[in-house]
Amino acid sequence: MEKVKNLVVGCGLSGIVIAERLAEEKKEKVLIIDKRKHIGGNIFDYKDRETGIMVHKYGPHVFHTNEKKVWDYLSRFTQWHPFMYKVKALIDGIEVNIPFNLDSLHKVFPKHMAEKFENKLIEKFGFNKKVPILDLKTSGDVDLQFLAQYVYEKVFLGYTLKQWGVKPENLDSSVSARVPVFISRDSRYFQDKYQAIPAEGYTQMAANMLKNPLIEVRLGNDYKDIRNKIEYEKLFYSGAIDEFFDFEFGALPYRSLDIMLKTFNKTFVQSGPQINYPENYDYTRSVEYKYYLDEISDKTVVSYEFPCSFKIGKNERYYPIPAKDNEVIYQAYKQKALTLNNVFFLGRLGDYKYYNMDQVVSRALDVFKGVADA
């Protein structure tokens, strides 16, 4: 029976942050295991051999945050390439800004209608405000309700059905809040203070975080295969919490992605880094990675994302599905987790939360602080 001080399950961002803090601050040995053959979890990226372009294997990751502590922490391990993400959606054959904003309004409606909607939006909600679509539908104003229905059908409904496999009304309001009407001319997808991509890629940033000699990484190791062969003083688990408990209260549902990569013998294919397709095609979005780090190549790489249900052994868990029934199941696991000594769950899978990257880091830092202060 092998004995370790700290066992971290999952070499994604959550596990890496925990391992780095334990080694750097507490000077303790850490063993990280991951069933995949690479570090970084879903932030893993790599240089495409044919084009020299940095490709995100598990879909696009653009770091953004308003938390200075998170930004400062990660900045120890990477130089940043400043990048303000801009996303467009194809609506009625027209590329419009996402979130749907005042410029989008003027692209899809006749001038007199667009001006009327713009004036009413500003009058009711103010300028530079984000209004969730489902809130706009209950505004009480006939014109704004018409606008809300249009945006709901053209931007939100089709994309949500493809992405989540259920109607928007069956999802937590946090999902609709991610797709608001933005009463602004700001064309950025995020408005956070800090927005960037690691200049040498996420994988290199992860490798820098793991350089401490007190950290050992073992890839290609599934926790369920070694759980009875290893003893630990503390366990930090960033895998799926339902799987940890052998699905005692039922399996938590997730959405997965089938990502198709295609190389084109063109300098560029798209007008920008990401195009969403709420109405057309079976994929939700296409991403052209050359835009991310301003890379130069006479070719380009584009990914196409086809959302699908997660199936154990067939694909990867990407997105916890925020819905009331799922939360009930998760809470049962969470309560059981609280009965365990020195076992800590974190990350999208451990917490069953639709975290952004900065939230993953912040959560891991908080978990470490709790352990360090105990």
- For the cut 70, the answer to whether the pLDDT of residue 341 exceeds it is yes
Q: 230-278 pLDDT, tens per residue?
A: 999 999 999 999 999 999 999 999 999 999 999 999 999 999 999 999 9
DSSP at 75: T
pLDDT value at residue 176: 63
Mean pLDDT of 305-333: 94
Which of 72-86, 117-131, 173-187, 306-320 has the least mean pLDDT?
Answer: 173-187
Phi, psi of 87 (to 5 degrees): -120, 140
Q: 2-60 pLDDT, tens per residue?
A: 999 999 999 999 999 999 999 999 999 999 999 999 999 999 999 999 999 999 999 99
**What band does 135 get if pLDDT is binned at 50, 70 and 90?**
confident
Q: Which CATH architecture has domain 2-84+194-250+320-373?
A: 3-Layer(aba) Sandwich (3.40)
| Amino acid identity at 254 | Y
Which of 128-142, 144-158, 306-320 has the least mean pLDDT?
Answer: 128-142
Mean pLDDT of 193-200: 98
**What band does 139 get if pLDDT is binned at 50, 70 and 90?**
confident
Q: Which residues make Cβ contacts (< 8 Å) with residue 60, sequence separation at least 6?
A: 273, 274, 287, 289, 292, 303
Buried b (16+ CB within 10 A) or exposed e, 96-108: bbbbbbbebbbbb
Buried b (16+ CB within 10 A) or exposed e, 132-157: bbbbbeebeeeebeebbebbbebbbb
Q: Which of 31, 63, 363 is nearest to 202 (CA)?
A: 63
Mean pLDDT of 126-154: 89
pLDDT value at residue 144: 93
Residue 174: Cβ within 10 Å count: 11
Mean pLDDT of 141-166: 91
pLDDT value at residue 177: 63
List where CATH 3.40.50.720 sits in the chain.
2-84+194-250+320-373
H or E segment at 358?
A: helix 357-373
From its phi and psi, is residue 367 left (phi > 0), alpha (psi between -120 and 50) or beta? alpha
**Are the CB atoms for 8 and 34 separated by under 8 Å?**
no
**What band does 308 get if pLDDT is binned at 50, 70 and 90?**
very high
DSSP at 170: G
pLDDT value at residue 374: 72
Q: Which residues make Cβ contacts (< 8 Å) with residue 142, sequence separation at least 6?
A: none
Mean pLDDT of 198-212: 98
Q: Which residues make Cβ contacts (< 8 Å) with residue 290, sequence separation at least 6?
A: 51, 53, 268, 297, 300, 301
Residues 310 and 357: their CA atoms lie apart, in Å, by 21
Residues 289 and 268: their CA atoms lie apart, in Å, by 10
- For the cut 90, the answer to whether the pLDDT of residue 180 exceeds it is no
Q: Which of 40, 28, 25 is nearest to 219 (CA)?
A: 40
Which of 103-112, 114-123, 179-188 has the least mean pLDDT?
Answer: 179-188
Residues 247 and 240: their CA atoms lie apart, in Å, by 10
Q: Which residues make Cβ contacts (< 8 Å) with residue 203, sequence separation at least 6?
A: 38, 39, 40, 43, 44, 45, 46
pLDDT value at residue 344: 97
Rounded-to-10 torsion of CA 199, 203, 209, 212: -130
Residue 188: Cβ within 10 Å count: 17
Residues 286 and 299: their CA atoms lie apart, in Å, by 16
